[in-house]
Structure 1
């Protein structure tokens, strides 16, 4: 596969353990590979392909012809293996707090955008996405970063929707998902890592938004007015005032 690219951006995947972050990334990568090779993909093969992977890259083609390389960081290892242990340390000591901040900041450093994922069948993951993950992202975003404005709010596991599930109080319906995203100023998609529904759109729409935001920021910088201060001069026929 040709890895030539015009722009490179770091993207992070965040959300509670078990919401399907790793499977979303694996499905996206497998779908891209299948399209390149002209073969079909399978969900089981996707899951095996991601074992031990901390981040992966993918090329997204912009309508203007530019090739955008996304370096996608899966924070699943952090949240599933370290988050609970570090949370306990945080409650017990300031050393735990410092260690947690050091680990999370390394994942968010230089990130240009994020996918915040929740499970549509689990309201708690939806609440945590807003109360924890989004707040953590905004705290990590620099003043000049696109991270705070380029966030995709993904409701995963829509393949589990059924007449029984949608009656469950823990279910997060599309209306609530969309209204919350609108209130928070987030992009959004409902997806399924298992069926591939909207997975590619979620990743590609985010990468396009990052690229457009970055270019708009560069244009504003290029046209910023330059103020020149002229050196004041004393007329030749004016004598300088003496002090004392």
Structure 2
């Protein structure tokens, strides 16, 4: 009981909403479960509508709650899930490295994301199921080239083997934190300088994906909720 109380009483500095999108059966739910609870369910069923999980971690001595939304990839849920893009600070577009079609659909998912989400959202392209290398249908270079062209982060993961899963989520969360911190710093400097600061706010935001998170950022996991 004391652990539960301690978790609820923990001071949260930031809440970052991240959405997972991509075709059905590419492993979005497994990625989320692996990150949030370090579990993998071989009998995982298709997501119905929208689900989310949270995980609390520390980035540069600030407590961040990651609220990660897992959206169904089936066509019939697309209209329902589009509303959940709003307010998202980060997104993972997931494809299956053994299914070329799931990669070919990435451009469509990216267009949908950009039409519903904030223009400064941090986006990562994720090639899941890297453990099935012998069945690979999407060359890593193809995905890298697409990610570079669209200014996306890129990583290949295996939810089954827990390869790069935590790294992928922490990369997005750290980049969001970097942008939010810079935005707050600029706003604070402008409020101190006075003048026409209101006209300047929001004009100096770095476009996500242009560069990797700064090497000085530190992160560590602490609790799950």
Q: Does the CA contact (< 8 Å) of 2:19 and 2:68 recur in 1?
A: yes
SS, match of residue 180 in structure 1: helix
Work out whether 1:108 is the aligned partner of 2:64. no
Find the aligned partners of 1:173 and 1:227 in 2 and give their Cα distance: 50
Aligned residue for 1:71?
67
1:183 deviation in Å?
1.4
Work out whether 1:44 is the aligned partner of 2:41. yes
SS, match of residue 105 in structure 2: helix
Give 2:149's match in structure 1, choosing from 178, 183, 190: 183
Give 1:128's match in structure 2, choosing from 105, 120, 126: 105
TM-score normalized by structure 2? 0.74
Q: Does the CA contact (< 8 Å) of 1:30 and 1:46 recur in 2?
A: no
Gaps of 5+ in 2: 198-225
Work out whether 1:15 is the aligned partner of 2:15. no
Work out whether 1:158 is the aligned partner of 2:165. no
Aligned residue for 1:226?
195
Find the aligned partners of 2:43 and 2:178 in 1 and give their Cα distance: 30
1:69 deviation in Å?
0.5
Instruction: Considering fraction of residues, name the structure with more strand.
Output: 2
Decide whether aligned partners of structure 1 residues 181 and 6 sit closer, same or farther in structure 2, where only a CA change above 3 A counts. same
Q: Which protein is bigger by CA-based radius of gyration? A: 1
CA-to-aligned-CA distance 1:56-92 (integer Å, 9 cap, x gap):
1011221x2111101100002xx33xx2x367xxxxx
1:204 deviation in Å?
1.2
Gaps of 5+ in 1: 32-40, 88-99, 229-244
Count of equivalent residues? 186
Find the aligned partners of 1:6 and 1:137 in 2 and give their Cα distance: 26
Find the aligned partners of 2:93 and 2:148 in 1 and give their Cα distance: 14
Find the aligned partners of 2:95 and 2:35 in 1 and give their Cα distance: 17
Aligned residue for 2:35?
28
1:214 deviation in Å?
1.3
Q: Does the CA contact (< 8 Å) of 1:60 and 1:207 recur in 2?
A: no
Q: Does the CA contact (< 8 Å) of 1:26 and 1:47 recur in 2?
A: no
Aligned residue for 1:54?
51
RMSD: 2.5
Decide whether aligned partners of structure 1 residues 193 and 157 sit closer, same or farther in structure 2, where only a CA change above 3 A counts. same
Instruction: Considering fraction of residues, name the structure with more helix.
Output: 1
Find the aligned partners of 1:28 and 1:156 in 2 and give their Cα distance: 13
